[in-house]
Amino acid sequence: MDLALAHVSHRYNGVEVLRDISFAAPAGRIVCLVGPSGCGKSTLLRFLGGLERPDEGQVTMTGEPPAGSLNPLTYIFQDFALLPWRSARGNISLALEDHRLSRREREEIIADVLARTGLSDFADALPRQLSGGMKQRVAIARALAVRPACLLMDEPLSALDSQTRELLLDDLQGLWERERFGAVYVTHNLAEAVRLGHQVVVLSRRPGQVREIVEIDMPLSERKARAAELEAHQTRLWELMREEAMAADQEIADV
């Protein structure tokens, strides 16, 4: 299933935040969305999953989601969005409870995603007992449980320390190798963008416009070993963004 944005513009209280954005997120590929803070990256992501409606333009999906997909467009949030009163298992179960599944099917799915994210021993832990990295793994497991066609990730690693971030990057890469899901990955961290993105969409500062779409033509599995080549991509992205980021930094927030 492919996702696409066509000529999307949006205003918040009269302030133009996004102007004429068009790009596609094809099935099975990771599209990273980078840009200075306040450029509307997260807003775009909410449009993509239907949590918010743009003033102008269209958000479309083409093709059928893979068979058995319970929630084709699934989010992973920066703040994890776990229910603090439910265990890891309960949080995953929440995403399944509104679907017609037998108790056994549900338990099988939960056991499977817990195993795939390395959480089997933490199934009954409450969020407050888990580290940030573990919480985000629970959120990833919850997302995998509904078999998404496209994962919409809103700075999923930004609330984590840099070591944990490195570990989770490896996890995400490994998961993608196996599942080949499509994804839109919003980040302000260029290292993450070049590690995971097949395509990096660079947005300008507010009002956000597509500055450039950079293709990174290197298999994900080789990226860790070919860090030097990635470095070149990252430098190029930084050059694209540098001025925008500086200008954005000096703006006075009025929204």
Partner 1 sequence: MSDAALPGAAPRTEPAPGARPVPFRGGGFRPTPRRWVGPLVFAALFAAWEAGSRMGWISPIVLPAPSEALEAFSNLARSGQLALHLQASLSRLVQGWIFGTLLGIAVGFAAGLFSLARAGIVPLVAAFFPIPKIALLPLFIIWFGIGEESKVATILFGTFFPTVIAVYGGVDGVDRGLVRMGQSFGLSRWSIVRKIILPGAMPAILSGFRISASIAIILLVAAEMIGAEYGIGAYVLLAGNLMATDQLVAGVAMLSILGLTVSWLIGRLEKRVLRWR
Residues lying near partner 1 in the complex (CB under 8 A): 49, 51, 70-71, 73-75, 77, 79, 81, 83-86, 94-95, 97-98, 126, 128, 142, 146
CB of 84 to partner 1, least distance (A): 5
Place of tokens 């997909």: 69
CB of 206 to partner 1, least distance (A): 22
Give 68 or 219: the residue with its C-beta nearer to partner 1. 68
CB of 203 to partner 1, least distance (A): 22
Three-state SS string across 109-175, please?
Answer: HHHHHHHHCCCHHHCCCCHHHCCHHHHHHHHHHHHHHCCCCEEEEECCCCCCCHHHHHHHHHHHHHH
What number of other Cβ atoms are within 10 A of residue 240's Cβ?
A: 19
Give 74 or 187: the residue with its C-beta nearer to partner 1. 74
Strand pairing partners for 61?
A: 3
Cα→Cα distances 152→44, 91, 140, 147, 211, Å: 10, 18, 11, 13, 21
Give 103 or 128: the residue with its C-beta nearer to partner 1. 128
Give 93 or 164: the residue with its C-beta nearer to partner 1. 93
* Token reading at 231: 């470095």
Q: Strand, helix or coil at 31? A: strand
CB of 139 to partner 1, least distance (A): 9
CB of 127 to partner 1, least distance (A): 8
Beta strand residue intervals within the chain, DSSP E: 2-12, 15-25, 30-34, 56-62, 73-76, 150-154, 182-186, 199-203, 210-215
Strands 73-76 and 150-154: parallel
* Token reading at 235: 């430098």
> What's the CA gap between 28 and 143, in Å, rounded?
16
CB of 251 to partner 1, least distance (A): 26
Give 19 or 181: the residue with its C-beta nearer to partner 1. 181
Give 81 or 227: the residue with its C-beta nearer to partner 1. 81
